[in-house]
Amino acid sequence: MTRYFYRSIISAGRALMIVAAVSLFFSQQLYAAVGCTLNDPDRDVKRLFPQSTGYRTDFITVQEAGGQALYRKMEEELGGKLDPIYEAIDVPYAFYDVLKGKEVIATIHGVNQKGTYGGMQLILATDLNGKITDFFYQKMSSPEAGKFMDKNFTRQFIGLKLDDFLKGNLAVRDPSKNSAEDFRATLRGLKKNLILLEELKFKKAAKQ
């Protein structure tokens, strides 16, 4: 009876491990299947742009915008390989056109980025020239998350453009004591975000 009891516990434990592994796999696939979207776009658009009267959402993939050639160009600009799962060529990225009446006055866009303790969601608000007007973490898992999310850190990116990241014209300091990897991940994610804005959104608009 005792031997059967222990075997039952071991079998149940193995079953739970399998279920957990399968759940993690599918959650990662779901995470990879879509780009970063705003949790509450109605609230966030109005908070970032009080003068706005609405917004519209545009979903674009790298595959649609330029295919493998663009994918490789992005890797060159980032200085490293894109992740084949959560940064795949067919991931749809969400761009929110902020409206004032019928006029587009700004854009809000976000990306998923791997951090030390899990995925980050980095949200940028930019003007129509790609200059950052606001930045916030929609999601971040880190013992020092509060230091990164603090306005004293995030406001340092206001006014920067893609060219500043490409040329390394950044005077932003790591706000943490022991999370340098998350700081570097933040810089990579924001650079990627601005590259996507330029290549997927602005160049698409220029062709229309």
Q: Is the pLDDT of residue 132 over 90?
A: yes
The 3-state DSSP class for residue 184 equals helix
DSSP codes joined into one string, 142-166: -TTHHHHHSHHHHGGGTT--HHHHH
Same domain, 27 and 53: no
The 3-state DSSP class for residue 24 equals helix
Contact between residue 70 and residue 112 where contact means Cβ atoms under 8 Å apart? no
Q: Is the pLDDT of residue 94 over 90?
A: yes
Same domain, 47 and 9: no
| pLDDT grade for 208, boundaries at 50, 70 and 90 | low
Q: Name 153's Cβ contacts closer than 8 Å, sequence gap at least 6.
A: 147, 172, 175
Same domain, 71 and 159: yes
Widest pairwise Cα distance in the chain:
75
Same domain, 26 and 69: no
Task: Provide the pLDDT for residue 14.
Answer: 54
Q: Which two three-digit tokens encode residue 191? A: 């650079």
- Going from the C-alpha of 83 to that of each of 31, 78, 130, 153, 158, the distances in angstroms are 13, 12, 24, 27, 27
Same domain, 42 and 25: no
Total domains present in the chain: 2
Same domain, 14 and 52: no
Same domain, 10 and 56: no
Same domain, 185 and 112: yes
Same domain, 168 and 100: yes
Q: Which two three-digit tokens encode residue 24? A: 């993690």
pLDDT in tens, 2-60: 554 445 544 544 544 443 333 333 444 444 456 899 999 999 999 999 999 999 999 99
Percent of the chain's residues with pLDDT above 70: 82
Residue 16 lies in domain? 1-33
Same domain, 26 and 66: no
The 3-state DSSP class for residue 173 equals coil
Task: Provide the pLDDT for residue 81.
Answer: 96
Same domain, 172 and 159: yes
| pLDDT grade for 204, boundaries at 50, 70 and 90 | confident
Task: Provide the pLDDT for residue 9.
Answer: 46
Same domain, 177 and 188: yes
Whose tokens are 């434990």? That residue is 13
pTM (whole model) above 0.85: no
